Amino acid sequence: MAKPVYDHRWRKVSEAIRHATPYCEDCMDEGTVTTAEDMRLDVDHIIPIEVDPSKKYDADNLRVRCIRHHSIKTCSENNHWNNRELRKPKQWWLSDEWDSDASSE
């Protein structure tokens, strides 16, 4: 499957969403505040573009996620959990959450 093309319009929408929500929404749900100063923030499509291209710019289909949570969602969508193909950003080695024994408890 080809990678989605992120054009000028997407960059503007993404920037506006990050400006309106300058923290990771998943971290906030967990009771932690993660901002762009802590870790890169991405704007993620809740329903992937490949599933529904019409929702590419739909603000209701967008969620601000830190790179850690964005990778978790992407890996889950791609079924990488079962294959142990999780790619971890450099910061993840600092977290106990990524200890394979701790995550299975």
Phi then psi for residue 66, to 5 deg, are -70, 165
Task: Give the count of alpha carbons within 13 A of 26, CB side only.
Answer: 17
pLDDT tens for each residue of 48-94: 888 889 999 999 999 999 999 999 888 887 764 445 444 444 444 45
Give residue 15's identity as a one-letter amino acid code: E
Phi then psi for residue 43, to 5 deg, are -100, 120
DSSP assigned state of 4: P
User: Global pTM?
Assistant: 0.68
By CB neighbour count within 10 A (0-12 exposed, 13-18 middle, 19+ buried), where does 62 fall? buried
* 21, 64 Cβ separation under 8 angstroms: yes
Which has more confidence, 15 or 94?
15
- Catalogue the E-assigned strands of the chain: 41-45, 62-66
